[in-house]
Amino acid sequence: MLSKRIIPCLDVRDGRTTKGIRFQDNIDIGDPVEMGRFYYENGADEIVYYDITASSDKRPIMIDVVKRVAETIFIPFSVGGGIRTVENMREVLLAGAEKVSVNSAAVLNPDIIRQGAEAFGKQCVVLGMDVKQVEPSGKIPSGYEVVINGGRTFMGLDALWWAQEGERLGAGEICLNSIDADGTQDGYAIDLTRLISTHVHIPVIASGGAGKPEHLLDVLTEGQADAALIASMVHYGTHTLREIKDCLHRGGVKVRMTW
Amino acid sequence: MIAILDYRAGNLTSVQRALTFLGHSSSITDSHGEIEKADRIIFPGVGAAGKSMENLRRLGLDTVLKERLKGGVPVLGICVGLQVLFQHSEENDTPCLGILPGRVRLFSPDPGDDRNAPLKIPHMGWNRVTFSRPHPVFEGIPEGSEFYFVHSYYPEPENPAHIQGTTDYGVTFASAVAHKNLVAAQFHPEKSGPSGLQILTNFCRWNGTDSAPCKEPTC
């Protein structure tokens, strides 16, 4: 059977990774290519690069990063952040990314999902969703609302509806980030993840809240996620991919153990 | 020189990047002359069977590929480049190259996963390949290795002798096939980490027969 994927996520600003990462082995911890290589060599199943560069005129820097990553690591990686148009998607894919993820751009212009899927294939298009728990209402029946701008702007979209709409438009995968859980290191939003994962037919990557290996075990079993995104828990050297995968393996989750 | 068939499919450059990393020069090409001179051919691809076959025929690459196969040059098919080797694909109800007898079918969500949830399609991610017999292109792969897949259709070879490896996803399907100087993988060796790169390295040394690979790279 298919293995559940463990995916480190690296934030990149102006061509440098942003989190202070404690590593040995003479790794340049600010270099997204070196960081990618480190995770590639240590068992990552995929890597996500998230471009948090504020100004769009610095976009070529990210494209250069993507090219160098593609020459260095031979597992799939995706790029998100700052993707506004199909032309942006094309640049990133041509530079060597396997997938491209759209978040706010898709909320503001859902057709970008359809256009991307038609131009490059569904498997290239990841729908990123930032979601906050709210009081269930007529407008938001699931009690989970889509937000953008890091959770500051509520979009009046029900998260479950949006996930299904994203699938219908042609997204090949959903990266589901709980704004409530993000940064807490207290565990993923299990109920939200299960709700979305059991109502779409495409893979769901759980994001936000990972602090220890058991959190991944929970979201990949109870939460029924297909993959789990991790950041601080590995970036700061608190845990290793090997440790996480050993824990999942012991817990009966099928993960890739040989690399 | 390795020719990477350019039939306007996606993902051609990732194969080339992996070859470059391994020290092999290659050319992404639709030039018949260049393909006729190549030491070996890679037939990669991400895309739909219908469009792929249409492009192959329009560019005349179907004929060149068949001729070179007959001539004994080593050929590696990847993903859609494996699927269209068969006679027919359910994807867009497409008549394919018919180099190998068999057809290509759509996965069914029905068998369910180990929690009885419906299987998600595409089959996307890492999975095991059980190699049914030794082959020079698939040797030196560490036990327990997994490979990266992304596909909604799977091959069903008619001749069991063509099955080189199998993978489970609701059904047990042929994830690697081999016949004479032709090998093909449903997974992406160029995205499958060191084990995938090993397959590319083996292919670049392979002389196209079932005997052990020669010591010196010939490409």
pLDDT, tens digit (0-9, with 9 covering 90-100), for A148-186: 988 889 999 999 999 999 999 999 999 999 999 998 999
> B11-40: buried (b, 16+ CB within 10 Å) or exposed (e) per residue?
bbbbbbbbbebbebebebbbeeeebeebeb
pLDDT tens digits along A34-43: 999 999 999 9
Q: Are strands B182-185 and B171-179 parallel, antiparallel or unpaired?
A: antiparallel
Q: Which residues contact A224 (CB under 8 A, 6 or more apart)?
A: A193, A194, A197, A198, A204, B115, B117
Beta-bridge mates of residue A214: none
Higher-confidence position of B211 and A7: A7
Q: Which residues of A touch B192 (CB under 8 A)?
A: 74-75
- For chain A, which residues make up each domain, given as ranges? 5-250
* From A45, A51, A130, A226, active-site residue: A130
Q: Give dist(CA A112, CA B145) in Å, integer.
A: 37
* Check: complex ipTM more than 0.90: yes
Q: Which residues of A touch B21 (CB under 8 A)?
A: 71-72, 74
CB contact under 8 A, A2 and B169: yes
Q: Give dist(CA A153, CA A131) in Å, integer.
A: 11
CATH superfamily of B2-205: Class I glutamine amidotransferase (GATase) domain (3.40.50.880)
* Confidence band for A236, pLDDT divided at 50, 70 and 90: confident
H/E element, A144: strand A144-148
pLDDT tens digits along B57-100: 999 999 999 999 999 999 999 999 999 999 999 999 999 999 99
What whole-number percentage of chain B has pLDDT above 90? 81
CATH node for A5-250: 3.20.20.70
Q: Which backbone phi and psi does A190 adopt, to 5 degrees?
A: -65, -50
Distance from CA of A21 to the nearest CA of B (A): 24
Q: Give dist(CA A194, CA A206) in Å, integer.
A: 10
* Confidence band for B211, pLDDT divided at 50, 70 and 90: low
H/E element, A192: helix A190-197
Give this prediction's pTM.
0.93
Q: Which residues of A touch B169 (CB under 8 A)?
A: 1-2
Determine contact, residues B157/B163, Cβ cutoff 8 Å: yes
- Exposure of A88 in the CB half-sphere (CA atoms within 13 A): 21
CB contact under 8 A, A94 and B10: no
pLDDT at A48 over 60: yes
| A141 burial via Cβ count (<10 Å: 0-12, 13-18, 19+) | exposed
* Confidence band for B112, pLDDT divided at 50, 70 and 90: confident
B74's tokens: 């080593």
Question: Using CB atoms and an 8 Å cut-off, which of residues 80-139 of chain A contact chain B?
Answer: 93-94, 96, 98, 120-124
pLDDT of residue A18: 82
pLDDT of residue B117: 77
